[in-house]
Amino acid sequence: MSRQRSNDPSRPLTFSMPTSMHTRLNNHLSFESSRSAWITAAIKAKLEGESSNESLDAWTTDEILQELLYSQRLVKSPGAQEMVRTIRLLL
């Protein structure tokens, strides 16, 4: 007996992203995480109008600190970057 077909089959998608964004995504995902599932969920959240402030409650402390490391204000302040790195190590 064959498997039932999906009502909404997946399609392969190829796109480009900056190397820095790719690195951030790889650092964010665990080895067990699916990159496709994560990107699909992010696109769905964006299309459904979910604001980043509403979803912040679901973030871990480490994820928030990781985002802080890449914020524009911290890029200009090496001392602040080092502080965030130290906090990440302590947690």
**Residues 16-40: pLDDT tens digits?**
999 988 988 888 888 888 889 889 9
Three-point CA angle 63, 70, 18, nearest 5°: 105
Q: Return the sign of the alpha-carbon dihedral for residues 60, 72, 28, 45.
A: positive
pLDDT digits (tens, 9 = 90+) for 32-77: 888 898 899 888 888 887 555 556 667 778 777 777 777 766 777 7
The pTM for the full model equals 0.49
Q: Is 39 a member of any domain? A: no
Q: Is 18 a member of any domain? A: no
Q: Is 20 a member of any domain? A: no
The pLDDT value recorded for residue 14 is 92
Which range marks the domain in which residue 70 is found?
A: 52-91
Q: Is 58 a member of any domain? A: yes
The pLDDT value recorded for residue 1 is 62
Work out the average pLDDT over 72-84. 74
Q: Is 78 a member of any domain? A: yes
Q: Is 38 a member of any domain? A: no
Q: Which of 74, 9, 76 is nearest to 85 (CA)?
A: 74
The total number of structural domains in the chain stands at 1
